Structure 1
Amino acid sequence: MTTARLNRLSLGAITLMIGLLGASQANSAETRSWRINPARTSVGFVVDGVGWPRTKGRFHDFEGKISINFDNPAASRVSFRVAAKSVDVGSPSFNNYLRTDAFFDVAQYPTISFTSTRVDKLDNSHARVIGDLTMRGITRPVTIEVALDKPADRSSAQIGFRATGVIKRLGFNMNAGFPAISNDVDLIVTTEAEVQ
């Protein structure tokens, strides 16, 4: 797995949505491939807890494949893989704790993956990507809301977007600290991608 930068998984799905958004502007039936720019990507997450400030973190290592069909957004596809050990909350000791079996269990489950199953265009600047998130060996459906920052069409060389979603960690047997640590984990991804 090649490495780059990213936050909780699901990020690749977002780019998919961009294609969706630009579908109304495109005239080509061609499916185009896009590469996420690691230098312009941030994959972050936020978790609430009782008795301490919100915990903010990110993932640094990832790879993804994105194919966008501007005439038929539903035919677009995204797959994404994140190295669980690349989790970073700004504290080496806390990072190491998150890598244990209490949370990500990176020794047994080194990869977090997302594969899109559906892309819905909401309007010319918003889309929704639904896909399967696999974490700790468990696969659950996840919905990502995408806001387009840079328009995408047949002639575009770059696209940009912001993606958000909520991951229910208990569904992935990540039970440590509950209920003091929230079940809901907010995912926030901002990125730009370049045509290949």
Structure 2
Amino acid sequence: MKTLTASILCLALCLSTPALAQTAPTRDPAQIQGGTYTVDASHTQVGWRVSHMGFSNYAGGFSDVSGSLVLDPKNPAGSKLSIKIPVASVATTSAKLTDELKGDQWLDAGKYPEMTFVSTKVTPAGKDKAKVTGDLTLHGVTKPVTLDVTLIGAGTNPLNKKVTVGFEATGTLKRSDFGVKTYVPLIGDQLHLTIAGAFERQD
């Protein structure tokens, strides 16, 4: 009886597994599908970090990111990236500070509701890395910024069956260059950005 029960349980597990089966994501560009991808907003995060009076590195983030990626694995230099970040989505662990950052002394989300990045050049820097230079617009000012981008993985999402590719991008900018000068240099001028981006292919 125990053997029969164990066999039935094993069969049930085997039948249920394929629903969530997943081929391991690849980091081989040759296996990635080219085409137009859009941001998976639910799984894309934009983080920032700045020195707080030299005592700590204070971090926060943005959400509700949108945008598109035209991906050409055979010719990475031909790829294009466009990202939009709603400034009012800025968040920290302090509600008071979050409200201040949205105000006109800082990001002025009412007057400048979006931060955007539009690539102008993609330079491969290894099998799964690239330097992506583009125009970053923040606080009404547009300046070139270069992001160091690393491929995290690509494949088919086992839940929604969409072809998905993910990257991590990092970069640094001087916030004073964009007119956000409050408390410089007491609060650090160097703003470190990290973008954990997931993109879904449009069929």
TM-score scaled to structure 1, two decimals? 0.79
Name whichever of 62-71 and 177-186 sits farther off. 62-71
Pair 1:133 & 2:120 matched: no
Cross-structure match for 2:44: 41
Task: Provide the rounded CA distance (Å) in 1 between the counterparts of 2:197 and 2:71.
Answer: 16
Count of residue pairs the alignment pairs up: 169
* 2:117–2:134 contact (8 Å) kept in structure 1: yes
Pair 1:184 & 2:184 matched: no
CA-to-aligned-CA distance 1:121-161 (integer Å, 9 cap, x gap): 11112111000000111100001001111157xxx922122
Task: Provide the rounded CA distance (Å) in 1 between the counterparts of 2:154 and 2:182.
Answer: 41
Provide the secondary structure at the position in 2 that maps to 1:181. coil
Q: How does 1:1-196 map to 2 (within 5 A)?
A: 22=29, 25=30, 32-50=35-53, 52-151=55-154, 157-196=163-202
* 1:74–1:119 contact (8 Å) kept in structure 2: yes
How far does residue 105 in structure 1 lie from its aligned partner after superposition?
0.8
* 1:27–1:71 contact (8 Å) kept in structure 2: no
Which of the pair has the greater relative contact order for Cα pairs under 8 Å at 6+ separation?
1
* 2:41–2:64 contact (8 Å) kept in structure 1: no
CA-to-aligned-CA distance 1:78-135 (integer Å, 9 cap, x gap): 1111110110012111111101121111111111111000001111121110000001
How far does residue 52 in structure 1 lie from its aligned partner after superposition?
4.3
Q: Which has the larger radius of gyration?
A: 2
Cross-structure match for 1:13: none
* 2:69–2:199 contact (8 Å) kept in structure 1: no
Task: Provide the rounded CA distance (Å) in 1 between the counterparts of 2:54 and 2:65.
Answer: 32
Provide the secondary structure at the position in 2 that maps to 1:171. helix
Aligned amino acid, residue 88 of structure 1: A
* 2:154–2:163 contact (8 Å) kept in structure 1: no
Task: Provide the rounded CA distance (Å) in 1 between the counterparts of 2:130 and 2:48.
Answer: 20
Unaligned runs of at least 5 residues, structure 2: 1-27, 156-161
* 2:166–2:199 contact (8 Å) kept in structure 1: yes
TM-score scaled to structure 2, two decimals? 0.77
Task: Provide the rounded CA distance (Å) in 1 between the counterparts of 2:136 and 2:83.
Answer: 9
